């Protein structure tokens, strides 16, 4: 990263307002602030308990900074605390973690794209996992561990959209690792990754280096395309965790805290950690 006087330095980030907790209810009993919308205390406690468990696991495994305030809010309060316009997108930054109190429409958008392309047998698998009608709320809540794993990165060094996929991949390794070691009963909930990744949908954007493009002004359809990338990276994360476990996750986190890598340097690094995963990245999306 350049300095403020470097002609090649990226433009400064636009100032964003601090999250506005006025009118929200504080849920006590946690080592970080927790705020919820009206009627959201029970869900806030559920999410905060998972956040607390994930934070403890990450601290032991790779080390993370303190957990930021958690906001579990409804659609009316979302604009005051969320950094994404689409409701319910789970996300984290240095000053907040935000998740919906109600289901996000992005999951319906994903299902609308994927389910019509599936065989009856595969639809049956989804119903067995997520009910009928399909309810992806449990899957959504797994991504709490994904977002918490982002705290193991240096937010300032991973702004190149070409490498966004690596940042997301590392967070998925953290998510897979957490559920493999702590909440193991939730692992079957991740089985949808294979279904959503392999569904014969003609996604407009498929190249890893363009992963950010679908969410830049393309509405819920773009978010569905972006989720396809995430599930492909979840599958790679499962492979890497199986082969390398916590040591591989620690290595990735160390790399993410250092100077930003070129795409060729990223592949060389992955070759050193797990050649099979590195080759899968080269072959993406095949």
3-state secondary structure string, 84-144?
CCCCCCCEEECCEEEEECCCCHHHHHHHHHHHHHCCHHHHHHHHHHHCCCCCCHHHHHHHH
Torsion of CA 153, 227, 17, 149, to 10 degrees: -20
> Residue 282 pLDDT > 80, yes or no?
yes
Domain boundaries, the chain: 25-283
166-217: pLDDT as tens digits:
999 999 999 999 999 999 999 999 999 999 999 999 999 999 999 999 988 8
Q: Hey, which residues does 72 pair with through a beta bridge?
A: 36, 99
Q: Compare 142 and 64 and report the one with higher pLDDT.
A: 142
Q: What is the pLDDT of residue 7?
A: 40
Among 1.10.390.10, 3.40.50.850, 3.90.650.10, 3.40.50.1100, name the CATH number for the domain at 25-283: 1.10.390.10
Q: Compare 244 and 218 and report the one with higher pLDDT.
A: 244
Give residue 263's pLDDT band: very low, low, confident or very high (50, 70, 90): confident
Q: What is the pTM of this model?
A: 0.92
> Residue 5 pLDDT > 60, yes or no?
no
* pLDDT over 90 percentage in the chain: 81
Q: Span 112-139, mean pLDDT?
A: 96
Q: What is the pLDDT of residue 255?
A: 87
Q: Span 249-269, mean pLDDT?
A: 89
Residue 285, preceding peptide bond in cis (omega within 30° of 0): yes
CB 65 within 8 A of CB 15: no
Give residue 119's pLDDT band: very low, low, confident or very high (50, 70, 90): very high
What angle in degrees, to the nearest 10, is found between the helix axes of 275-283 and 219-256? 150
Instruction: Calculate the CA 131 to chain-centre distance.
Output: 23
CB 10 within 8 A of CB 1: yes
Q: Which of 61, 180, 195, 176 is nearest to 128 (CA)?
A: 195
> Residue 44 pLDDT > 60, yes or no?
yes
Q: Span 85-104, mean pLDDT?
A: 95
Q: What is the pLDDT of residue 152?
A: 87
Q: What is the pLDDT of residue 14?
A: 44
> Residue 86 pLDDT > 60, yes or no?
yes
* pLDDT over 70 percentage in the chain: 92
Question: DSSP string covering 245-275, please?
Answer: HHHHHHHHHHHHTSSPPPHHHHHHHHHHH-H
Q: What is the pLDDT of residue 171?
A: 95
Give CA–CA dist 137/102, Å, rounded: 9
Q: What is the pLDDT of residue 9?
A: 36
Q: Span 263-269, mean pLDDT?
A: 91
Q: Span 226-244, mean pLDDT?
A: 98
> Residue 34 pLDDT > 60, yes or no?
yes
Query: Can you list the pairs that 25-34 forms with residues at least 24 positions away whose Cβ atoms lie under 8 Å?
Result: 30/70, 31/67, 32/66, 32/67, 32/68, 32/69, 32/70, 33/69, 33/70, 34/69, 34/70, 34/72
Q: Compare 233 and 159 and report the one with higher pLDDT.
A: 233
């Amino acid at each position: 990263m350049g300095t403020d006087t470097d002609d090649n330095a990226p433009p400064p980030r636009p100032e964003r307002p601090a999250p506005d907790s006025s009118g929200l209810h504080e849920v006590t009993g946690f080592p970080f602030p927790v705020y919820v919308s009206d009627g959201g205390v029970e869900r806030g406690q559920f999410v905060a308990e998972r956040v607390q468990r994930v934070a403890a696991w990450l601290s032991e495994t790779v080390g993370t900074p303190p957990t930021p305030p958690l906001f579990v809010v409804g659609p009316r309060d979302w604009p005051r605390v969320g950094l994404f316009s689409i409701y319910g997108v789970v996300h984290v930054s240095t000053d907040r973690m935000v998740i919906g109190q109600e289901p996000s429409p992005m999951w319906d958008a994903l299902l609308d794209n994927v389910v019509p392309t599936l065989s009856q047998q595969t639809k049956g698998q989804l119903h067995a996992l997520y009910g009928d009608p399909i309810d992806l709320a449990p899957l959504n809540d797994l991504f709490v561990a994904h977002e918490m794993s982002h705290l193991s990165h240096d937010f300032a060094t991973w702004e190149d959209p070409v490498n966004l996929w690596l940042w997301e991949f590392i967070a998925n390794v953290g998510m897979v690792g957490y559920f493999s070691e702590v909440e193991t009963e939730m692992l079957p909930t991740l089985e949808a990754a294979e279904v959503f990744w392999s569904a014969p949908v003609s996604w407009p954007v498929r190249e890893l280096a363009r992963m950010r493009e679908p969410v830049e002004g393309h509405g819920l359809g773009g978010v569905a395309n972006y989720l396809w990338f995430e599930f492909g990276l979840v599958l790679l994360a499962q492979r890497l965790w199986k082969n390398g476990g916590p040591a591989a996750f620690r290595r990735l986190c160390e790399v993410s805290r250092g100077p930003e890598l070129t795409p060729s340097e990223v592949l060389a690094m992955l070759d050193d950690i797990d050649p099979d995963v590195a080759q899968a990245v080269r072959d993406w999306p095949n």
